[in-house]
Amino acid sequence: MLNMEILPDPNAVARHAAACMARLAREAIDQRGRFVAAISGGDTPWPMLRRFAATPLPWSQVHIVQVDERVAPPGSPERNLTQLRASLRGCGARIYPMPVDETPLTAAAARYAALLRELAGTPPVLDAVQLDLDAEGHTASLVPADPALAVDDVEVVVTGRYAGHIRMTLTYPVLNRARRVLWIVTGTAKSGVLGRFFDGHDDTLPANRVERDHALLLTDREAAASYI
């Protein structure tokens, strides 16, 4: 069963999500000496991350990896890394970009998987994964009909072209091993898919293949309007 909290608006979601991330960071640092979190793209994580970055933490022990990234030039607004760095600027967290500038991409994906093992063990167990839900029901860069959906033996793969870009993404095995999954879903554009996702019975939604035992969905009233 997926735990869901409905908050008044996106600002309230961002505040609560930042507080959750800070709590998870403190727990991980106390227990294991570091916090390793994976952050997705889209529009939803950045307000949360800006609030998270303003939280007093031992930031040298915070390690941020990417859930997915588009193959696009450095500094491009299409790159999740651009917003990720801007949102966490000045806090001292260590950010590990997906190497989408390197070739061949398949070898670059393997190197990123090796980095995950260095940071989070073998197999890597991330302390937290933040995910978004696309209006069509995909998450990370795990989209319908892409071969990446069937990968179960590596942590990072290169996808086919989707919405104009080839991408690099974490796979289901590493997402499903995470100690905590934090879904952030806001806005009216998500209202049509939120109920299908929360119920969990629609096998056509790639997001429904992410394990729910350690997951929390934070959403706002607009996104949840068709469900509540």
Q: Could you report the per-residue pLDDT of 107-118, keeping only the tens digit for each?
A: 999 999 999 999
Do the domain assignments include residue 10? yes
- Band the pLDDT of 119: cuts 50, 70, 90: very high
218: which strand partners? 5, 184
Asked which of 34-43, 51-60, 170-179 is least confident by mean pLDDT, the reply is: 34-43
Q: Could you report the per-residue pLDDT of 43-83, keeping only the tens digit for each?
A: 889 999 999 999 999 999 999 999 999 999 998 999 999 99
Note the pLDDT of residue 206: 94
Do the domain assignments include residue 154? yes
Mean pLDDT, residues 24-50: 96
What is the average pLDDT score of the chain?
Answer: 95
Pick from 116, 46, 36, 112: nearest CA to 77: 46
Is pLDDT of 228 > 70?
no
CATH code, domain with 84: 3.40.50.1360
Do the domain assignments include residue 148? yes
Is pLDDT of 214 > 70?
yes
Q: What is the DSSP letter of 101?
A: T
Q: What is the DSSP letter of 91?
A: S
Cβ proximity of 68 and 80 under 8 Å: yes
Note the pLDDT of residue 200: 86
Distances from the Cα of 45 to the Cα of 17, 132, 200, 204, 226, angstroms: 9, 8, 23, 25, 23
Question: Domain residues for 179?
Answer: 3-216
Do the domain assignments include residue 69? yes
Assign 160 to helix, strand or coil: coil
> Virtual CA dihedral for 202, 208, 209, 211, nearest 10 degrees?
-130
Note the pLDDT of residue 122: 97
Peptide bond connecting 104 to the previous residue in cis, omega within 30 degrees of 0: yes
Do the domain assignments include residue 177? yes
Predicted TM-score (pTM) of the model is 0.96
* CA-derived radius of gyration, the chain: 16
What percent of the chain is predicted at pLDDT more than 90? 85
Report the Cα 172 to chain-centroid distance in Å. 12
- Band the pLDDT of 195: cuts 50, 70, 90: confident
Mean pLDDT, residues 141-164: 94
Number of domains in the chain: 1
What is the sign, positive or negative, of the torsion defined by CA atoms of 205, 99, 48, 119? positive
